Amino acid sequence: MMRVLIGGGSGFIGSALADHLRSRGDSVTIISRSPGANRITWTELQRGPLPPFDAVVNLAGQHILDPRRRWTEQYKEEVIRSRVDTTKALVDVLNRSRTPPSVFVSTAGKCFYGTSGAGPDPTYPELTEESEPMGIDFPAELVAQWEAAAEGVDSSRIRHVRVRIGVVLGAVERKSLIGKLWRVGRARGFLPIIRLPFCLGLGAKLGHGRQPFPWIHIKDMVGILVAVIDDTSASGRYNAVAPGIVNNAEFTEAFAKRLRRPVVWAVPAWLIKGLVGVERASILLEGQNVKPRRTLEQGYKFEYASIDAALDDLVQISF
């Protein structure tokens, strides 16, 4: 039995990871803003000392594409603090611990690689764990700060694994009477942001639709985290993205097909920038052609390597 501490353990990825670890007999504690059973608050964490843990995984961070929040300077600062400040606090506690964990898994986003600008004829070079950013926009700057905060961990005492995460896809269901009529479902991860317009027949590609869409099934996301925890030879950076990358238009068609809805239009770039803000728009409009080279070399075998296999598993429609 392993003792695992998860920052952001009540979130989408964190809760799925906690469930998996508990199912195999591990003991899981989550870092939370509110106290409770098998929880440590961030305030308690900073006061210390840290109880003994075998592994620590940090997934804490506010969703940058939360559709309920307008992109303001205040929200921008919240997003930064929720990632950078919490990571620094956790690293400081780990470094001060007399009995540090064997492994610290820090996470960040695929936006590290930046964007090269859309332009009239965009190109998307292959990006692996060793690639440098193509260009710096706000999401890339945010990830750089996030990763820099994690680099402060004492790697002479703690094995440090860094995981860059793509767009995580979770299950979407349609079971209720209303769901049957309107094709509205329940989902966690990226799909809640886009499912409603798709269910109402308003699904659309974003901009020109040729931008890469680096995605990963939630089961493979958890699988990679568990693999790097268990494999004592794992260290350094790993991309948590499926090898079968598609572009935005291909993903849009595949998702709409499984919801049995048409795709009849494209959302212009100017409208997306107006809705989510210019700084966030690059996440949706430009994309990165990210490959999981080191993840595959480490021996991880994807359960869902293609978008068709992933969506066949994730999209369930009951009539």
pLDDT tens digit sequence for 2-24: 999 999 888 899 999 999 999 99
177-to-84, 128, 193, 201, 206 alpha-carbon distances in Å: 43, 45, 22, 18, 30
Angle among Cα 45, 50, 51 to the nearest 5 degrees reads: 125
pLDDT above 90 covers what percent of the chain?
A: 49
Provide the percentage of residues in the chain whose pLDDT is more than 70. 91
Q: Is 300 exposed, middle or buried (0-12, 13-18, 19+ CB in 10 A)?
A: buried
Using alpha carbons, select from 260, 222, 264, 265 the residue that is nearest to residue 240.
Answer: 222
Query: How far, in Å, CA of 168 to CA of 214, rounded?
Result: 9
pLDDT of residue 181: 44
pLDDT-based confidence at 319, cuts 50/70/90? very low
**How confident is the model over 107-116, as a mean pLDDT?**
85
Q: Which tens digits make up the pLDDT trace of 274-301?
A: 888 888 888 888 889 999 999 999 999 9
Peptide bond into 49 cis (omega under 30): yes
> Which band of pLDDT confidence, cut at 50, 70 and 90, is reported for residue 118?
low
What 3-state class would DSSP assign to 244? coil
318 pLDDT higher than 80 = no
Strand partners, 104: 56, 160
69-83, 93-107, 163-177: lowest mean pLDDT where? 163-177
Average pLDDT over residues 206-214: 91
Give the mean model confidence (pLDDT) for residues 261-269: 85
Query: pLDDT-based confidence at 184, cuts 50/70/90?
Result: very low
Q: Give me the residues paired with residue 161 across strands.
A: 105, 236
Separation CA 189–CA 153 (nearest Å): 29
Residue 309 reports pLDDT greater than 90: yes
Q: From CA 108, how far away is CA 142, in angstroms rounded? A: 9
Q: Which pLDDT score, from 0 to 100, does residue 71 have?
A: 79
For residue 49, give Cα distances in angstroms to 26, 40, 94, 97: 22, 11, 9, 7
- Residues 34-53 have a mean pLDDT of 86
Residue 194 reports pLDDT greater than 90: no
Is the Cβ–Cβ distance between 121 and 140 less than 8 Å? no
- Scored b (16 or more CB within 10 A) or e, 279-291 reads bbbbbbbbbbbbb
pLDDT band at residue 73 under the 50/70/90 scheme: confident
Rounded to whole angstroms, the Cα distance separating 257 from 215 reads 18
pLDDT at 186: 45
CATH topology of domain 3-169+215-242+290-300: Rossmann fold (3.40.50)
Name the pLDDT band for 102 (thresholds 50, 70, 90). very high
**What pLDDT, on the 0 to 100 scale, is given for residue 68?**
72
Tell me how far apart the alpha carbons of residues 294 and 280 are, in angstroms, rounded to a whole number: 28
Q: 267: which 2 tokens?
A: 């959302």
